């Protein structure tokens, strides 16, 4: 157990004591490990059981000597909808801190093995951060992707202001941050985001193909390459973490932030899951 896990369990919503197996499927297939966020009733939101389960599953993958590559799946229509409305409201009131979600969100980056996010479904807010902290991503042309922090009016955190520009390019990332808008995968591809974007039904197969190619290399070589290629992102997100958190705390005190969360969380729900 890590230092943050008991704190995560004690957050508002910590009474949700579902086990890891109830919210996450873990499958070992030779060198390939598949983690599937499996909480469709809650739209794969970042509830405490999910926040606990993902890092622990990453640790289990690393502990298996046969494992070489991790695939992180969501549901076909929803990769991860991010935070709940209640947790966003609690954060705006100073009762909840994104520090607790960080342990999960950045776990793909911290994992010693390469991690591929299979973002066939929508990925919103913290859900998109989780997917983009993976080493390689595969997106669906038709699904929606959003860094929606400013949609509600508060500053992003968890290294987002360093990671998103590195993954998508600074001009596109800046626009996504400032507008809080949702973008289909096809639009991100048209805007030259350096990501794998394929037809919706082809996302799993493309991710599996990439994983198999990676698994052809020795595990130690993969670990060395991941650590070497990711060292700058790791350092950069650590360096901005506290300043992001400070700015988030300030903006969460703005009266209109609580109003936006309370009134607008479900605003686009009839068309697309907004999430947080």
Return the residue matching tokens 């996302």: 203
**In the block, residue with structure tokens 């009131």:** 93
Q: What is the pLDDT of residues 202-243, one digit of tens each?
A: 999 999 999 999 999 999 999 999 999 999 999 999 999 999
Strands 144-146 and 183-184, how do they pair? antiparallel
For residue 6, name the pLDDT band (cuts at 50, 70, 90): very low
How many CB atoms within 10 Å of residue 109?
18
Q: Is this structure's pTM higher than 0.85?
A: yes
Strand-pair partners of 196: 138
pLDDT of residue 276: 57
The pLDDT tens digits of the residues spanning 126-178 come to 999 999 999 999 999 999 999 999 999 999 999 999 999 999 999 999 999 99
Q: State the DSSP code for 20.
A: H
Contact present, 146 and 124 (Cβ < 8 Å): yes
pLDDT tens digits, one per residue of 76-119: 999 999 988 887 877 777 666 666 789 999 999 999 999 999 99
Q: Is the pLDDT at 269 greater than 60, yes or no?
A: no
d(CA 19, CA 42) in angstroms, rounded, equals: 15
Q: How far apart are CA 56 and CA 180, in angstroms?
A: 31
pLDDT at 261 exceeding the cut of 90: no
Listed residue (212, 216, 220) closest to 65, CA to CA: 220
Of the candidates 182, 188, 152, the residue with the CA atom closest to the CA atom of residue 167: 188
The span from the CA of 68 to the CA of 64, in Å, is: 9
| pLDDT for the residue numbered 11 | 45
d(C-alpha 202, C-alpha 138), whole Å:
10
3-class DSSP state for residue 184?
strand
DSSP letter, residue 41: G
Tell me the domains of the chain and their CATH numbers: 5-200+216-264 (3.90.226.10)
Phi then psi for residue 35, to 5 deg, are -110, 125
Task: Convert the pLDDT of each residue in 176-197 to its tens digit.
Answer: 999 999 999 999 999 999 999 9
5 confidence band (pLDDT: 50, 70, 90): very low
Sheet of strand 136-140, all strands in order from the earlier edge strand to the far edge: 24-29, 32-37, 69-73, 115-119, 136-140, 196-198
């Amino acid at each position: 157990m890590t230092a943050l896990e008991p704190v995560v369990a004690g957050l508002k919503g910590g009474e949700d004591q579902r086990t890891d197996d109830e919210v996450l499927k873990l499958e070992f297939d030779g060198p390939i490990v598949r983690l599937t966020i499996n909480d469709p009733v809650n739209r794969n939101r970042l509830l405490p059981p999910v926040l606990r389960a993902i890092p622990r599953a990453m640790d289990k993958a690393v502990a298996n000597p046969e494992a070489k590559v991790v695939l992180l799946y969501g549901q076909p229509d929803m990769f991860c909808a991010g935070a709940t409305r209640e947790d966003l409201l609690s954060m705006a009131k100073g009762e909840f801190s994104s520090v607790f979600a960080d342990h999960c969100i950045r776990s793909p980056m911290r994992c010693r093995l390469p991690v591929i996010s299979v973002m066939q479904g929508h990925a919103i807010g913290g859900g998109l951060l989780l997917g983009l902290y993976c080493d390689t991503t595969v997106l669906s042309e038709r699904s929606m992707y959003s860094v929606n922090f400013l949609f509600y009016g508060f500053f992003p955190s968890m290294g987002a202001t360093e990671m998103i520009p590195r993954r998508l390019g600074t001009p596109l990332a800046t626009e996504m941050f400032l507008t809080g808008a949702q973008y289909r995968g096809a639009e991100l591809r048209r805007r030259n985001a350096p990501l794998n974007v394929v037809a919706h039904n082809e996302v799993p197969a493309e991710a599996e193909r990439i994983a198999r190619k990676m698994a052809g290399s020795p595990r130690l070589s993969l670990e060395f390459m991941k650590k070497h290629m990711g060292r700058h992102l790791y350092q950069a997100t650590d360096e901005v973490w506290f300043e992001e958190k400070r700015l988030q705390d300030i903006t969460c005190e703005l009266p209109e932030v609580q109003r936006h969360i309370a009134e607008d969380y479900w605003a686009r729900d009839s068309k697309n899951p907004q999430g947080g």
